[in-house]
Amino acid sequence: MNDSDSPDLANEEEVREVFSDRRWTIMGALLGTSTAILLVHSLEPDKAPSLQRDIGLGIIASTLPFMVVYCALHLYARENGERMLVSELHRLSNLSVVCQLIAYGSMIGILTLWYGISDVVGPLIIAASVVAFLTVRYVLYTSTSASPGLSMFGQNTSQ
């Protein structure tokens, strides 16, 4: 029995399923956006301080460490995937989910900042965010209940 047949070792496919390139890209984009927002707002020291701005920036700043930890977990898992135990993969998977959920909270901070732009932009960004969230949930729900051989647009994918 060689190492790849060992039931205690995770295989590359399991590691790639948990730590996918898509999740990595989303987290990288969120990390870059959050860092840019904090940088831009730190360069505006003459801007009148407001509680709303401070809360928004505070939320974004408090989520940054979780984004960095997720990126570190992702890199560790990808680099050590061939010698990772299944139990270790499960622990890292659970930790990465917690980091992702907290990191996605940075969007609340971004919405808080954008809400204060004007009396028109604020409510519109909140309304558009709710519609976008509901649309994504609807599409995900309907795509899981659709026929297995059909794509989201009704095209046959099992040819």
State whether 127 and 102 are in the same domain. Answer: no
C-alpha 47/C-alpha 68 separation (Å) is 29
pLDDT at 122: 84
pLDDT bin (cut points 50, 70, 90) of residue 147 is: low
State whether 106 and 123 are in the same domain. Answer: no
Centroid of chain to Cα 44: 28
Q: Match 């990772």 to its residue by tokens.
A: 84
Nearest one of 25, 23, 22, 19 to 78, comparing CA atoms: 19
On whether the CB atoms of residues 71 and 28 are closer than 8 A, the answer is yes
State whether 101 and 157 are in the same domain. Answer: no
pLDDT at 159: 47
Q: How do residues 20-73 score in pLDDT, each as one tens digit?
A: 888 888 899 999 999 999 998 888 766 777 888 889 999 999 999 999 999 999
C-alpha 125/C-alpha 44 separation (Å) is 23
State whether 47 and 94 are in the same domain. Answer: yes
Is the model more confident about 3 or about 27? Answer: 27
On whether the CB atoms of residues 66 and 31 are closer than 8 A, the answer is no
How many folded domains does the chain comprise? 2
pLDDT at 63: 96
State whether 28 and 89 are in the same domain. Answer: yes
Q: What is the mean pLDDT of residues 3-29?
A: 79
pLDDT bin (cut points 50, 70, 90) of residue 10 is: confident
State whether 142 and 96 are in the same domain. Answer: no
Nearest one of 109, 98, 30, 102 to 63, comparing CA atoms: 102
CA distances from 14 to 9, 17, 18, 42, 75 (A): 10, 5, 6, 41, 15
**Domain around 84:** 3-116
pLDDT at 117: 80
On whether the CB atoms of residues 99 and 69 are closer than 8 A, the answer is yes
State whether 20 and 80 are in the same domain. Answer: yes
pLDDT at 1: 43
Q: How do residues 122-138 score in pLDDT, each as one tens digit?
A: 889 889 988 998 998 88
CA distances from 142 to 139, 148, 154, 158 (A): 5, 12, 12, 19
State whether 84 and 136 are in the same domain. Answer: no
State whether 83 and 70 are in the same domain. Answer: yes
Flag whether pLDDT at 149 surpasses 80: no
